[in-house]
Amino acid sequence: KAGVTQTPRYLIKTRGQQVTLSCSPISGHRSVSWYQQTPGQGLQFLFEYFSETQRNKGNFPGRFSGRQFSNSRSEMNVSTLELGDSALYLCASSWRDTNTGELFFGEGSRLTVL
Amino acid sequence: GESVGLHLPTLSVQEGDNSIINCAYSNSASDYFIWYKQESGKGPQFIIDIRSNMDKRQGQRVTVLLNKTVKHLSLQIAATQPGDSAVYFCAENGIPGNTGKLIFGQGTTLQVKP
């Protein structure tokens, strides 16, 4: 069974640009969550989608957005990139149909903003 | 504010010894707790979880203990192996009954000496 797949794995952008990251959850999983990981702030929750609806949202500015498609694949977008957006962006999927279940993480997309 | 913290940033143990990684959480409303392991260059990997109606839960070579009175969580690893070397994160759900938005601690690096 394939795990959570994130693309691209690495990318470099410059300030002011925008970026789109993609996540394919484990087959059958309907919930996708996104987390930002930095050395200073650790792992921070961005948002969670379930059946194409955003169910939870973290404390990030509106430059961070996401969406989920009917096949449960998800994308997140960061507009007007800042140096501080450099981070590992992790996607996780789960069953989440009964508010239970572990999160399965992908290996992340490492974004560097120059 | 909500936070989950670990007592030690680095823990060094001898191969074959037992390891104990500690975590303090601040949100008394949290009712779901998880331990993750993250190896270099990989996403977090689920180890074990526990709900607030339990004090102890055992898995393969791992045990999680929850003390709600002092808001303390610990992960015990029996017969620690070199492959256990990684960063360990505890996490809480923050919102009762909702496992979609996890609050992670800063992590403890476990070093296993051969």
Q: Are the Cβ atoms of A107 and B98 closer than 8 angstroms? A: no
pLDDT band, very low/low/confident/very high, at B2 (cuts 50, 70, 90): very low
Distance (Å, whole) CA A98 – CA A59: 25
Distance (Å, whole) CA B80 – CA B61: 9
Report the pLDDT value the prediction gives residue A96, as an integer from 0 to 100: 64
pLDDT band, very low/low/confident/very high, at B1 (cuts 50, 70, 90): very low
Collect all residues with Cβ–Cβ distance below 8 Å to A41 and sequence separation of at least 6. Answer: none
Query: Helix or strand or coil: residue B82?
Result: helix
B55/chain A closest Cα distance in angstroms: 18
Interface contacts (A, B; CB < 8 Å): 60
CB B106 within 8 A of CB B8: no
**Candidate from B101, B104, B106 with C-beta closest to A56:** B101
Query: What is the number of helices (H) and of strands (E) in chain A?
Result: 0, 11
DSSP string, A5-45: EEE-SEEEE-TT--EEEEEEPPTT--EEEEEEEETTTEEEE
Report the pLDDT value the prediction gives residue B100, as an integer from 0 to 100: 75
Main-chain phi, psi angles of A104, to 5 degrees: -105, 120
- Ramachandran category for residue B25: left, alpha or beta (phi over 0 → left; psi -120 to 50 → alpha): beta
Q: What is the pLDDT of residues B74-97, one digit of tens each?
A: 999 999 999 999 999 999 988 887
Digitized pLDDT (tens) for each residue of chain A, 114 residues in all: 679 999 999 999 999 999 999 999 999 998 999 999 998 889 999 999 998 999 889 999 999 999 999 999 999 999 999 999 999 999 999 876 545 567 899 999 999 999
Q: Are the Cβ atoms of A100 and B99 closer than 8 angstroms? A: yes
CA dihedral B97, A70, A63, A103 (to 10 degrees): 40
**Cβ-based contacts of A107 with chain B (< 8 Å):** 41-43
Interface of B with A (CB under 8 A): 34, 36, 41-46, 49, 89, 91, 95, 97-107
